[in-house]
Amino acid sequence: MAQGRVSGLRARGGFELDIAWSGGLREQVRVKSHAGEPLNFIYKTWLSRVPLQVAGLFLLGTSLMATSTPAGERYDFGGNVASTTLYDDARGYGFEPVTPEFPTQRFSAKASEGNYKVTLRFGDRKGAGSTTVKAEARRLMIEDLVTKRGAVVTKSFIVNVRTPALAPPPPNAPGGSMVRLKQRELDSPTWDNKLTLEFLGEAPMVTPLTIERVDVPTVYLAGDSTVTDQRVDPNGSWGQMLPRFFKPDIAIANHAESGETLKSFLTELRLDKILATIRPGDWLLIQFGHNDQKSQWTQTYVDAATTYRDYLRIYIAEARRRGAVPILITSPERLAFNGAGHIVDSHGAYPDAVRDVAREQQVALVDLHSMSKVFYESLGPERAPTAFAEGGRDLTHHSNFGAYELARLVAQGLRTADPQLAAHLDPEAPIQ
C-alpha cells in the first residue's frame, strides 16, 4: 500500500501543511501558523474521506487563518480560530483570557482607530441557538438572536475603536498627546488597539465573522457614569445599550466616563479626543449634571444659573464649528420616592438649565430627566429598585434592565428630536 508525506506546503494566509497518507487517503493533517504552533483545522473530517490529490488542491486554494478578503478580515471559529487560540499581538487576533471581571468568551482582533463593520453568521445545523453579542466594554450590539435548528442568520453592526492618543500640540503650546485616563481605565477594552467581541446567551451559535473598516456617520457621547460603558455585569448605562437601537449604518462612540463633569471632561482632554475626529454629518450627545451639581467638588462644581450653562454653550459651539450636530440630554433621576409614590427631584435647577440652553441655542433636546421619572413611577416603589444597581441600594447607577430601558427612552427621544438621526434607528428595535 502506498504511503508518503508532504511537508512544507503553503496555503494562502501563510499556513504550513504537513500531510501524511496511506493508500491514497489522508491519515493525518497538521496545520502550523507562521509561529509554528498547531491550529485546529476546519476541514479535518471532510478530508478523511477525500483522496489526497483532491484534498491537496483544495487546501492550497483555501484560506485557513484570519485572512484579508474584499470584505475584510475573516475569522472561522472552531476552524482556523480554535477556542484555545489566545490573543497575541503579533498574530493580531485570538480569545481573551477568562477573568472574574470578564467570565465570558471574548474574541479580539487588532484594529487601529476608526469604525468597523462586523458581520457574523449565526446558527448551527445540529441545534437551535440563542446569542447576544456585545463589543468592547459590554456595548450591546445583538440582543438575544434566536436561530432554529439548521437555520442560518447573518447580522451586521458597527463598532467604534479608539485609543487615548492625541496629535501632540506644537512646541510650547498647552495640551497633551494623550487623554488623561483614570487608573481604572488603563486596561479597559474601550481604550486599546483591539476590537473585542463578547458572546453570550443560553446557546451562543456564532460561525464565521468578518471585520472591515467603514466610513459611516458617528454619534459621539459625552457624559458621566450613567452614560459610560460600565465594565462589570450586571451594572449598565444607557450609553452602552444605545447601539442596539441603531441600524448598521452608523457608529456609537461612547466617550462618557464615571465621575466626569463638564469641566473635568475638558481638562482631561476627553472633549479634545472627540473634536479630533468629529466631522460634518456626525452628532454629539451631551449629558452632564450628576457630578456638576456637587458643590463639595470645588474644582469641578459649576452653578446651574451661570457657569453650567456657559460650559454647555462651549460644547455646542465646538461641535457646530466642526459641522457636527449637538444634542442636549437632561440627566436621569435618582431613585427616591416620596410618600405619595412620586420620584423626588434630586437635580435641582440643572435640568431646567439644560432645557433653557437648548431653547436659547436652538439645539435638539432629549428630556431624559422627565422620561426617567415617568418610567420609575410606572414601576412603583416596589419594582423600581430592579432598574438600579445592587438591587436599588445604589440610588444613582443602573442595572442592565434599567440601562436598557433608559436607552430605549433616549432612542424614542431622538426619533422626535432629530429626524436625520432618527433615520438611522433600527425599525425592528423595540422603540415605542
> End of a domain among 180, 215, 250?
215
Task: Please state the pTM of the whole predicted model.
Answer: 0.83
Sign of torsion over alpha carbons 180, 186, 189, 195 = positive
Annotated catalytic residue 390: yes
Which of 129, 56, 425, 38 lies closest to 250 in space, CA to CA? 425
pLDDT of residue 244: 97
Task: Select which of 347, 397, 398, 424 is catalytic.
Answer: 397
* Total domains, the chain: 3
pLDDT of residue 222: 98
Question: Do 271 and 239 fall into the same domain?
Answer: yes
Write out the chain's pLDDT in tens, 432 residues.
444 444 443 333 333 444 443 433 333 434 343 333 333 333 232 233 333 333 332 222 333 345 454 457 899 886 778 878 899 999 999 999 988 888 888 999 999 999 999 999 998 888 899 999 999 999 999 999 999 998 999 999 999 999 999 999 999 999 999 999 999 999 999 999 999 999 998 888 887 899 999 999 999 999 999 999 999 899 999 999 999 999 999 999 999 999 999 999 999 999 999 999 999 999 999 999 999 999 999 999 999 999 999 999 999 999 999 999 999 999 999 999 999 999 999 999 999 999 999 999 999 999 999 999 999 999 999 999 999 999 999 999 999 999 999 999 999 999 999 999 999 999 999 997
pLDDT of residue 137: 95
* b/e code 170-196 from CB counts within 10 Å (16+ = b): eeeeeeeeebebeeebeeebbbbebbb
**Which residues span the domain enclosing 48?**
3-65
pLDDT of residue 184: 93
pLDDT of residue 100: 85
Question: Do 319 and 374 fall into the same domain?
Answer: yes
Annotated catalytic residue 255: no
Q: Residue 294's domain is classified under what CATH number?
A: 3.40.50.1110
Question: Do 347 and 333 fall into the same domain?
Answer: yes
Task: Select which of 108, 225, 237, 264 is catalytic.
Answer: 225
Grid cell of 354 as nine digits: 439644560
Task: Select which of 27, 113, 202, 390 is catalytic.
Answer: 390
Question: Do 102 and 202 fall into the same domain?
Answer: yes
Question: Do 223 and 205 fall into the same domain?
Answer: no
Question: Do 137 and 158 fall into the same domain?
Answer: yes
Question: Do 318 and 259 fall into the same domain?
Answer: yes
pLDDT of residue 51: 34
pLDDT of residue 82: 82
Question: Do 207 and 240 fall into the same domain?
Answer: no
Q: Residue 199's domain is classified under what CATH number?
A: 2.60.120
> End of a domain among 50, 65, 80?
65
Question: Do 13 and 112 fall into the same domain?
Answer: no
Annotated catalytic residue 342: no
> End of a domain among 65, 87, 115?
65
Question: Do 348 and 276 fall into the same domain?
Answer: yes
Question: Do 269 and 203 fall into the same domain?
Answer: no
Question: Do 355 and 406 fall into the same domain?
Answer: yes
pLDDT of residue 2: 40
